[in-house]
Amino acid sequence: MAPPTIPIIPMDNFNFTTPQRPLTWLITGSSSGFGLAITRHAQANGHKVLATSRNPSKTPDLVQEIESKGGRWLPLDLDDRDNTRVINDLEAEGVAIDVLVNNAGSALLQAAECITEDEARAQFETVFFGPYRLTRAVLPHMRERRFGIIVNISTGASLEGRESMGIYAASKAAFDGLTKVMAKEVAEFNVRTLTVYLGGFNTYFSSSLRAGSEPLPGDYDESAVGKALKFMHGGKYVADGDTWKGAKVVYDVVTGEGPGAGKEGELNLPLGRDMEARVKLVRDRMDHCWKVFGSAATKVSVKADN
């Protein structure tokens, strides 16, 4: 007899419902890229938007645009360990956050051996702990109201990263892994999650790239790492993904419209033409390793036959 196990409940067992009313969206990193595009799509479709950025004073025209249409623009720094006060203050005002979009972030590119521990921790502070704090702050309210949507804008690098993207991929993958489990924990409260794996899009991503403080050893100069760093930091990276179109797909999946109609239980959204090859690579690799080691992997239980 097989030992008892904890059953895995398929996500399609849950019947998620969305209120038929305008939703209130809190979006981080609203000053550019996907954050701005999602903010505009949500507002254009009659939803209430709470846009945020680290320094709203740097984008007065955008602040005026959003607020002139009934939205609000709030300062929010992901590295601030007290950033949850934004959510707490809003909820105390009676503003019920229906959708949290964790979009803001940055990327440190460097060979793994050259990244300092301080740099690694700073990367995780922004990309993992910052959104984790916000998510923890909003979940009790969503759970109590029996509705909420957490949207995490991730990256294809968390599935399969290029050379030099190790710590960036790790920070994104950590939050993806947390979200995958959290989705199972909150589904019965009609709270769902969506992780968006972005491919290459025409955002200002290259402007958010940071170089490590440690010099790259000469051995790496003409290696895949060295070439990747020169490519990314040299202004040669040109993506063909249209941010406006991509953000519309995210909006549709969140609201259950267009390609998102009837797909409320979907946890993952790979987005971008280049993601097709990356998803196939990951799937094929896992299939391959199981074919190679599967017979051995299934014979390691206490009473397994040798």
For 65-82, what is each residue's pLDDT tens digit? Answer: 999 999 999 999 999 999
Half-sphere exposure of 18 (CA within 13 A, CB side): 22
> What are the boundaries of each domain within the chain?
12-274
Work out the mean pLDDT of the chain and round it to a whole number.
Answer: 92
In angstroms, the CA 139 to CA 243 distance is 28
Mean pLDDT over 78-107 rounds to 95
Q: Which amino acid is it at 246? A: G
Supply the pLDDT for residue 4. Answer: 59
Q: Please write the tens of the pLDDT for every residue from 249-306.
A: 999 999 999 999 999 999 999 999 999 999 999 999 999 999 999 999 999 988 766 5
Measure Cα distances from 279 to 25, 61, 76, 104, 157 in Å: 29, 39, 33, 24, 11
Residue 207: its pLDDT value, please?
A: 59
Question: Strand runs (DSSP E) across the chain, as ranges?
Answer: 24-27, 48-53, 72-75, 99-102, 107-109, 148-155, 191-198, 209-211, 268-271
Q: With cut-offs at 50, 70 and 90, classify the pLDDT of residue 208.
A: low
CATH of domain 12-274: 3.40.50.720
pLDDT at 1 over 60: no
Mean per-residue pLDDT for 211-220? 86
The model carries a pTM of 0.92
Confidence class of residue 240 from pLDDT cuts 50, 70 and 90?
confident
pLDDT band of 245, cuts 50, 70, 90: very high
Q: Which residue has the tokens 């999650």?
A: 193
Residue 289 structure tokens: 């390793």
Percent of the chain surpassing pLDDT 70: 91
SS3 294: helix
Active-site residue, selected from the candidate residues 132, 168, 197, 220 = 168
- Residue 132's pLDDT is what? 98
The answer to whether residue 197 is catalytic is: no
